[in-house]
Protein backbone atom coordinates (compact mmCIF):
# COMPACT_ATOMS: atom_id res chain seq x y z
CA UNK A 1 0.00 0.00 0.00
CA UNK A 2 1.20 3.49 -0.85
CA UNK A 3 0.26 6.28 1.53
CA UNK A 4 1.02 9.76 0.24
CA UNK A 5 0.50 12.80 2.43
CA UNK A 6 0.10 16.12 0.63
CA UNK A 7 1.67 18.60 3.00
CA UNK A 8 4.11 21.39 3.71
CA UNK A 9 6.18 21.93 6.83
CA UNK A 10 4.60 25.13 8.07
CA UNK A 11 1.15 23.53 8.28
CA UNK A 12 0.32 22.44 11.81
CA UNK A 13 -2.64 20.47 10.50
CA UNK A 14 -0.39 18.55 8.13
CA UNK A 15 1.96 17.95 11.06
CA UNK A 16 -0.85 16.42 13.14
CA UNK A 17 -1.68 13.99 10.34
CA UNK A 18 1.97 13.14 9.69
CA UNK A 19 2.74 12.60 13.36
CA UNK A 20 -0.22 10.26 13.77
CA UNK A 21 0.94 8.23 10.77
CA UNK A 22 4.49 8.17 12.10
CA UNK A 23 3.68 7.17 15.67
CA UNK A 24 1.19 4.52 14.55
CA UNK A 25 3.86 2.95 12.35
CA UNK A 26 2.05 3.47 9.03
CA UNK A 27 4.51 3.83 6.13
CA UNK A 28 3.98 7.09 4.27
CA UNK A 29 5.70 9.51 1.97
CA UNK A 30 5.39 13.26 1.72
CA UNK A 31 4.20 15.09 -1.36
CA UNK A 32 5.20 18.74 -0.92
CA UNK A 33 2.47 21.28 -1.70
CA UNK A 34 3.80 24.73 -2.59
CA UNK A 35 1.17 26.55 -0.57
CA UNK A 36 2.91 29.90 -0.43
CA UNK A 37 2.99 30.08 -4.21
CA UNK A 38 -0.65 29.15 -4.58
CA UNK A 39 -0.58 25.43 -5.43
CA UNK A 40 -3.35 24.55 -2.94
CA UNK A 41 -5.64 27.05 -4.66
CA UNK A 42 -4.83 25.79 -8.15
CA UNK A 43 -7.15 23.78 -10.36
CA UNK A 44 -5.04 20.61 -10.26
CA UNK A 45 -4.93 20.46 -6.47
CA UNK A 46 -8.63 21.27 -6.12
CA UNK A 47 -9.39 18.17 -8.16
CA UNK A 48 -7.81 16.26 -5.27
CA UNK A 49 -9.32 18.39 -2.51
CA UNK A 50 -11.99 20.94 -3.49
CA UNK A 51 -11.44 22.61 -0.11
CA UNK A 52 -8.01 23.72 -1.30
CA UNK A 53 -6.29 22.69 1.93
CA UNK A 54 -3.66 20.35 3.27
CA UNK A 55 -3.35 17.77 4.61
CA UNK A 56 -4.65 15.29 2.09
CA UNK A 57 -3.87 11.60 2.49
CA UNK A 58 -3.97 9.34 -0.55
CA UNK A 59 -4.15 5.92 1.11
CA UNK A 60 -3.69 3.68 -1.90
CA UNK A 61 -6.44 5.52 -3.77
CA UNK A 62 -8.62 6.39 -0.78
CA UNK A 63 -8.54 10.20 -0.53
CA UNK A 64 -8.90 11.60 2.99
CA UNK A 65 -8.91 15.29 3.86
CA UNK A 66 -8.86 17.19 7.17
CA UNK A 67 -6.38 16.23 9.88
CA UNK A 68 -9.06 14.88 12.21
CA UNK A 69 -10.40 12.54 9.53
CA UNK A 70 -6.90 11.30 8.74
CA UNK A 71 -6.24 10.71 12.43
CA UNK A 72 -9.54 8.83 12.71
CA UNK A 73 -8.46 6.61 9.81
CA UNK A 74 -5.14 5.97 11.56
CA UNK A 75 -6.91 4.93 14.74
CA UNK A 76 -9.43 2.76 12.89
CA UNK A 77 -6.76 1.12 10.72
CA UNK A 78 -4.20 0.37 13.44
CA UNK A 79 -6.05 0.50 16.76
CA UNK A 80 -3.27 2.79 17.99
CA UNK A 81 -3.47 6.31 19.44
CA UNK A 82 -7.12 5.65 20.25
CA UNK A 83 -9.06 5.38 23.46
CA UNK A 84 -9.43 2.02 25.16
CA UNK A 85 -13.22 2.18 25.48
CA UNK A 86 -16.19 3.82 23.74
CA UNK A 87 -16.15 6.54 26.39
CA UNK A 88 -12.48 7.28 25.75
CA UNK A 89 -13.10 7.19 21.99
CA UNK A 90 -15.66 9.93 22.48
CA UNK A 91 -13.16 11.87 24.57
CA UNK A 92 -10.68 11.70 21.69
CA UNK A 93 -13.36 13.08 19.40
CA UNK A 94 -14.34 15.77 21.92
CA UNK A 95 -10.79 17.07 22.27
CA UNK A 96 -10.20 16.89 18.53
CA UNK A 97 -13.23 19.09 17.93
CA UNK A 98 -12.15 21.43 20.74
CA UNK A 99 -8.72 21.72 19.13
CA UNK A 100 -10.08 22.41 15.66
CA UNK A 101 -12.34 25.15 16.98
CA UNK A 102 -10.37 26.68 19.83
CA UNK A 103 -6.66 25.74 19.82
CA UNK A 104 -5.52 25.13 16.25
CA UNK A 105 -8.49 27.18 15.11
CA UNK A 106 -6.84 30.22 16.74
CA UNK A 107 -3.13 29.29 16.83
CA UNK A 108 -2.99 28.51 13.11
CA UNK A 109 -4.32 31.79 11.74
CA UNK A 110 -2.63 33.79 14.50
CA UNK A 111 0.77 32.32 13.63
CA UNK A 112 0.05 32.94 9.95
CA UNK A 113 -0.91 36.57 10.56
CA UNK A 114 2.14 37.26 12.71
CA UNK A 115 4.76 35.53 10.58
CA UNK A 116 3.76 34.78 7.00
CA UNK A 117 1.35 37.54 6.00
CA UNK A 118 3.03 40.70 4.64
CA UNK A 119 3.46 43.19 7.47
CA UNK A 120 1.24 45.82 5.84
CA UNK A 121 -1.65 43.35 5.87
CA UNK A 122 -1.40 42.43 9.56
CA UNK A 123 -4.24 43.79 11.66
CA UNK A 124 -3.43 44.49 15.30
CA UNK A 125 -7.13 44.18 16.15
CA UNK A 126 -7.41 40.74 14.55
CA UNK A 127 -4.19 39.58 16.21
CA UNK A 128 -5.43 40.85 19.57
CA UNK A 129 -8.80 39.10 19.19
CA UNK A 130 -7.25 35.77 18.19
CA UNK A 131 -4.66 36.02 20.97
CA UNK A 132 -7.42 36.41 23.53
CA UNK A 133 -9.32 33.42 22.16
CA UNK A 134 -6.16 31.29 22.05
CA UNK A 135 -5.23 32.15 25.64
CA UNK A 136 -8.73 31.18 26.78
CA UNK A 137 -8.40 27.80 25.07
CA UNK A 138 -4.92 27.27 26.46
CA UNK A 139 -6.30 28.05 29.91
CA UNK A 140 -8.71 25.15 29.50
CA UNK A 141 -5.87 22.84 28.44
CA UNK A 142 -3.68 24.00 31.31
CA UNK A 143 -6.41 23.30 33.83
CA UNK A 144 -7.09 19.81 32.50
CA UNK A 145 -3.43 18.84 32.18
CA UNK A 146 -2.71 20.01 35.70
CA UNK A 147 -4.77 17.02 36.86
CA UNK A 148 -3.60 14.27 34.49
CA UNK A 149 -0.88 13.36 32.01
CA UNK A 150 -3.03 12.87 28.89
CA UNK A 151 -6.26 14.37 27.63
CA UNK A 152 -8.46 11.40 26.74
CA UNK A 153 -6.89 8.28 28.19
CA UNK A 154 -4.06 7.06 30.39
CA UNK A 155 -1.76 7.17 27.37
CA UNK A 156 -1.05 9.28 24.31
CA UNK A 157 -3.93 9.49 21.84
CA UNK A 158 -4.81 11.54 18.80
CA UNK A 159 -6.50 13.97 21.19
CA UNK A 160 -3.06 14.96 22.44
CA UNK A 161 -1.58 15.05 18.95
CA UNK A 162 -4.38 17.34 17.78
CA UNK A 163 -4.19 19.82 20.62
CA UNK A 164 -0.38 19.90 20.71
CA UNK A 165 0.31 20.16 16.99
CA UNK A 166 0.71 23.91 16.58
CA UNK A 167 2.37 24.36 19.98
CA UNK A 168 5.71 22.96 18.78
CA UNK A 169 6.31 25.62 16.13
CA UNK A 170 9.09 28.12 16.85
CA UNK A 171 7.59 31.19 15.19
CA UNK A 172 6.06 33.70 17.64
CA UNK A 173 2.29 33.60 18.03
CA UNK A 174 1.85 34.89 21.59
CA UNK A 175 2.33 31.47 23.15
CA UNK A 176 5.14 30.93 25.66
CA UNK A 177 5.49 27.48 27.18
CA UNK A 178 6.88 29.02 30.36
CA UNK A 179 3.47 30.58 31.02
CA UNK A 180 1.79 27.16 31.04
CA UNK A 181 3.75 24.67 33.19
CA UNK A 182 1.26 21.81 32.77
CA UNK A 183 1.16 22.26 28.99
CA UNK A 184 4.95 22.52 28.95
CA UNK A 185 5.30 19.20 30.81
CA UNK A 186 2.74 17.58 28.49
CA UNK A 187 4.55 18.75 25.37
CA UNK A 188 7.75 17.31 26.84
CA UNK A 189 6.01 13.97 27.46
CA UNK A 190 4.73 13.84 23.89
CA UNK A 191 8.17 14.69 22.51
CA UNK A 192 9.65 11.83 24.56
CA UNK A 193 7.44 9.31 22.71
CA UNK A 194 9.55 6.95 20.57
CA UNK A 195 9.29 8.07 16.94
CA UNK A 196 8.28 11.65 17.71
CA UNK A 197 9.75 14.31 15.44
CA UNK A 198 9.57 18.08 15.36
CA UNK A 199 7.41 19.38 12.47
CA UNK A 200 10.41 20.82 10.63
CA UNK A 201 12.14 17.42 10.84
CA UNK A 202 9.11 15.31 9.95
CA UNK A 203 7.72 17.31 7.01
CA UNK A 204 9.35 18.72 3.86
CA UNK A 205 11.70 21.61 4.63
CA UNK A 206 10.07 24.96 5.40
CA UNK A 207 9.66 27.21 2.40
CA UNK A 208 9.89 30.40 4.46
CA UNK A 209 7.72 32.17 1.93
CA UNK A 210 4.74 34.47 1.79
CA UNK A 211 1.51 34.32 -0.10
CA UNK A 212 1.83 36.14 -3.37
CA UNK A 213 -0.28 39.27 -3.10
CA UNK A 214 -1.17 38.44 0.50
pLDDT of 205 reads: 78
CATH number of 3-80+198-202: 3.40.30.10
Of the candidates 61, 58, 55, the one whose C-alpha atom is nearest the C-alpha of residue 40 is 55
What's the mean pLDDT in 144-155? 98
**CATH 1.20.1050.10 residue ranges for the chain:** 86-191
**CATH 3.40.30.10 residue ranges for the chain:** 3-80+198-202
**Rounded to an integer, what distance in angstroms lies between the CA atom of residue 28 and that of residue 112?**
27
Q: Which CATH number fits domain 86-191: 1.10.3720.10, 3.40.1280.10, 1.20.1050.10, 3.40.50.970?
A: 1.20.1050.10
Arithmetic mean of pLDDT over the chain? 95
pLDDT of 2 reads: 86
Q: What is the CA radius of gyration of the chain?
A: 17
pLDDT of 214 reads: 34
What's the mean pLDDT in 167-176? 97
pLDDT of 208 reads: 58
- End-to-end CA separation in angstroms for the chain: 38
190-205: per-residue pLDDT in tens?
999 999 999 999 998 7
Buried residues in 184-199 as b, exposed as e (16+ CB within 10 A): bebbebbeeeeebeeb
pLDDT of 210 reads: 43
Amino acid sequence: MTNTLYCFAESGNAYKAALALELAGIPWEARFVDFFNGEARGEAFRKINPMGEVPVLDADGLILTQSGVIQDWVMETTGKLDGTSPAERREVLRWTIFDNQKVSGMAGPLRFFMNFLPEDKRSADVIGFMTGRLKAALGVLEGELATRDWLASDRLTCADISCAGYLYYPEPFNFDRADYPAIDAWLTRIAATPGWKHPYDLLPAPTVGKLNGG
